[in-house]
Amino acid sequence: MPRSYKRSKGARTYQNYSGDFVDQVVQKIKDKELSLTKAASQYGIGKGALFNRVHGKTVLSPGRQTILSPVEEALIVKRTLQCSDYGFPLQPMDLRIIVKSYLDSEGRTVPMFSMNLPGPDWALSFIKRHNEIRQRVSNDIKRSRAFVGEAELRDYHQRLTIELQGIPPSHIFNYDETNLADNTSASKFLYRRGVKYPDRVINLSKSCVTMMMCGSADGTLLPPFIIYKSDNLYTSWIQGGPKGDPCCHFRCCKNGTQFHNTASGWMDTNAFQKWFSELLLPHLQNLDGPKAVIGDNLSAHFLETVLKLAEDNDIKFLCLPPNSTDKTQPLDVAFFGPMKKAWKHVLEEFKVENASVSIVNKQVFPRQVNKLFKDPSFYPNIEKNLKSGFRATGIFPLDLNNLLRRLGNTRRVQKNVKRKLDLLAKGDNAESESSDMDTDPDSEEIYAVRPTRSRSTSAGTPSKVQKEIPSPSSGTPTVGDTSNNVNPNPTKKLKATAPISATDEGSCTSTTTKSSALKVGSFVITKVYVNNSSDKHRKYLATVDQFDETEVSVTFLHSSESKTVFTVAKDDTASVEMKDICEIIDVPYKFNSREQYVFNAALDVSL
């Protein structure tokens, strides 16, 4: 809160009544119910103060007057609440910056503000004067605790459904920043077998250029907004960038690519204002009706000018949930990946043609971006990628199921483990209720198991394979190639019932008993033989992906020294014989967002 200023000793007493109370007394005087003298005596208000109020001579509030007029302060309050409603809550520093931008736009200079920027005390006093605003302390949590789950995505999509009601796809936009690096990143090449240092000689650096991209749900791409890290912006740096096709080629975007410079090379408030007013706004002004602009929650981007332009042009900003851009940001989901892949190809061509150049300097960078937008692997798919991004994130068409699919197997696994724990809490009699534990009313029917790559079980330790398999912990098969499925009836849904209780440690049931008790998704301890030896073997924890009477495809779990916490190794798969399955163990009691399983006691497995 602002400092509490104390009255000096000996100073006259100050009013201890509210303005509304004085107005009521003045009204009684005007209605001839009381005289000035009687009202002053009865209510303890100075006779002179009442006289001035009755005759309209007092129009200012008592005490020192505020820098901004009541109308201006009401406008600042409105902008602050507008940011909060968008999902971009402001900090006191953001409020001070908004006031500075307002004063600068009005051409006013306030001597008591350093460079027209209000001080911290002014911001806190402003908050105290206006009851509509309250400063709340945010809870800082680790990124692992800020995991975005199904509940958060449902709340976000519910708000999205309300805000996008009646807005066509051409009026729904998503913006996001990315960078084009000067490094082609790691690539695979052919080398002599056994080479220890697979190096490639090529000039490179770690510099990158920030670029703001924006596209609509109907596949319209706006020209890029390029931000250089520099103190100046020279004419030679802004020539040759993308203009027209494949970006919007109408009159609103006739200038094509826009350029800006900042000291850090990142997006700041001034750069965001320029992008919004000079690139996005001209396009939006050609569209009738309400418009929606979806982006991340960077409140520092917004100035009073941007908020006023948005309000005047019927534009609403919608905020994405924190730490969720990989699931909710259309550009992240389906656009930036193909664009970065094409940029890698363009960059490699440039460095091959210019072997002596270590960086893509600013004079040639716009032309390389233009090549990127014309790249045959990227150009034909721009519209399709944009539409796919909005569809996959459930924005257009509005589809909650599409958004929830972005959670992948995590959603199904969390539900299954929770149901299992609930059943265990009810008692042993509830075990029979878990036969359809994997059923998800919101998910599609799953009919087949994706085949895994086999490997020899004679290896000393589980080795890595390249083929990705579905998360084994889900207990539910996923759709894939059914050519090698062990399920003899591919039209019948495979159910992953809860794993059964463990057998006695060290014992192995017969093959017939195990094959009848084994289920897809079961947790098992299996033998892996060392160096083709029939005697030496190691034991590992794994989950069952698919099986027949003689062979079981499993995915291994790795553990630390405790042997109680295990992490799924999605790429570590193998095929083992049914007779090598030693134990079928209970489902672990806990599953967290990092795909880890926790057991009550240490398991008898190898590290």
- Locate tokens 């083709």: which residue? 532
Q: Would the pTM count as exceeding 0.95?
A: no
Nearest to 293 by CA among 213, 225, 373: 213
Q: Are 569 and 546 in contact (CB under 8 A)?
A: no
Cα–Cα–Cα angle for 53, 58, 59, rounded to 5 degrees = 120
In the predicted structure, residue 241 carries a pLDDT above the cut 80: yes
Q: Per-residue pLDDT averaged across 269-296, rounded?
A: 93
Specify whether the backbone of 33 is left (phi greater than 0), alpha (psi in -120 to 50) or beta: alpha
**Beta carbons within 10 angstroms of residue 575's beta carbon:** 17
Residue of 3, 39, 2, 6 whose CA lies nearest to 22: 39
Per mean pLDDT, which range of 148-152, 157-161, 504-508, 564-568 is the poorest?
A: 504-508
Q: Is the pLDDT of residue 159 over 80?
A: yes
* Measured distance CA(537)–CA(304) in Å, rounded: 70
Contact in structure between 311 and 344 (CB atoms under 8 Å): no
3-state DSSP call for residue 318? Answer: strand
pLDDT exceeding 90 applies to what percent of the chain? Answer: 27
Whether the pLDDT of residue 352 is over 60: the answer is: yes
Residue 364 confidence (pLDDT) above 60? yes
Q: Is the pLDDT of residue 490 over 50?
A: no
**Which stretch of 150-154, 325-329, 556-560 has the lowest confidence by average pLDDT?**
556-560
The pLDDT, as a whole number, for residue 398 is 93
Q: Reply yes or no: is the peptide bond before residue 380 cis, omega within 30 of 0.
A: no
Distances (CA, A) of 315 to 81, 248, 321: 16, 19, 20
Structural element, H or E, at residue 326: helix 325-328
State how beta strands 551-559 and 565-577 pair: antiparallel
368, 360 Cβ separation under 8 angstroms: yes
Q: What is the mean pLDDT of residues 170-175?
A: 96
What is the reported pLDDT for 300? 57
Domains of the chain plus CATH, in order, are 19-54 (no CATH), 70-129 (no CATH), 167-185+200-404 (3.30.420.10), 427-598 (no CATH)
The number of beta carbons lying within 10 Å of the beta carbon of residue 230 is: 13
Give every CB contact of residue 43 below 8 A, 6+ residues apart in sequence. Answer: 17, 21, 25
More confident residue, 522 or 452: 522
Query: Over the stretch 124-143, which tens digit does the pLDDT of each residue have?
Result: 889 888 888 877 655 454 55
86-90, 188-192, 359-363, 461-465: segment of lowest average pLDDT: 461-465
CB 582 within 8 A of CB 505: no
pLDDT for residue 319: 87
Count CB neighbours of 337 within 10 A: 13
